[in-house]
Amino acid sequence: MAGAVDSGASDAAMSDEEMAVVARGVQLLPDPDGKESYPIVTFSWLLLYKQYDDHLKAAALKQYVKWCLTEGQAFNESLGYVRLAPQVIAHTMAAVDRIR
């Protein structure tokens, strides 16, 4: 079936070397194997300030992004996305925690 996504792609784990690339803001992964696999996968990016004048806005934004990284991951497959690797989630949570 054309356009089908190989569900095995969501099980991929990232090596420490791949995680170091993510930490620099670049992610390079080969196209997934499989006859019905969808090629080329990338992150969706969210650009945030390190500090907000409105502390309530900062708190709400942090809460939303943390939800996306935790409970929100349960919606990925039904929307045609793969789950983020645990290392990516941990790295991003640490960055969100630094927002003031």
- Cα(90)–Cα(87) distance, rounded to whole angstroms? 5
pLDDT higher than 50, residue 5: no
Tell me: the pLDDT tens digits for 30-73? 667 778 876 666 778 889 999 999 999 999 999 999 999 999 99
Q: Residue 11's pLDDT is what?
A: 43
Give the count of beta carbons closer than 10 Å to the beta carbon of residue 96. 18
Tokens of 62: 């942090």
- Residue 98 phi/psi, 5-degree rounding, is -85, -10
Q: Residue 6's pLDDT is what?
A: 40
Domains of the chain, residue spans? 7-97
